[in-house]
Amino acid sequence: MAVHCPECGFVNPEGANYCQKCGAYVGGPAEGGEGDEPTTMTYTVDDTGEMQPVDIDETIERSGAALVIRAGGGRAGESFALGEDRVSIGRSPDAGVFLDDVTVSRNHALLVRRRDGLYIDDLGSLNGTYVNRRRIESHRLADGDEIQVGKYKLSYLEK
């Protein structure tokens, strides 16, 4: 029996956990849904691969903005400071926001600081980039925006 995506309606093969078109979770109750405990600890992964707890408010104060993974890949709570003018998002190990999953393109999206704020630009990714559940090509981010890249859902936080 086929599995219909609750986000985009795409018909996925039986047994699929994620939509092949938009990357939304289709394998059962959505991650981070009601009944799940909210993630309160944020962390970053250091050069040795170890998780280091971080104070997200301090990170935002220092860098001006941050992305926090809310769901996807078992990495909920991982944070990325966004202090640079350009930060890449993708499956490439060189990406500033490295998301290692086949639902993420190697060079998926780019965060770019422009005169009037921080923008996320899709780089022609196969599965697209979504902000607040809408597929975008370029979007000016606002505090609290939900970004979806493949199966990952991230929150954008700024001071």
pLDDT tens per residue across span 64-107:
888 988 888 788 888 899 989 999 999 999 999 999 999 999 99
| Token pair of 69 as six digits | 């993974």
Cβ-based neighbours of 64, under 8 Å, separated by 6 or more: 82, 83, 158, 159
Residue type, 52: Q
What average pLDDT is seen over the chain?
83
Q: Please tell me what DSSP assigns to residue 53.
A: E
By the 10 Å C-beta count (0-12 exposed, 13-18 middle, 19+ buried), 137 is classed as exposed
| pTM, to two decimals | 0.69
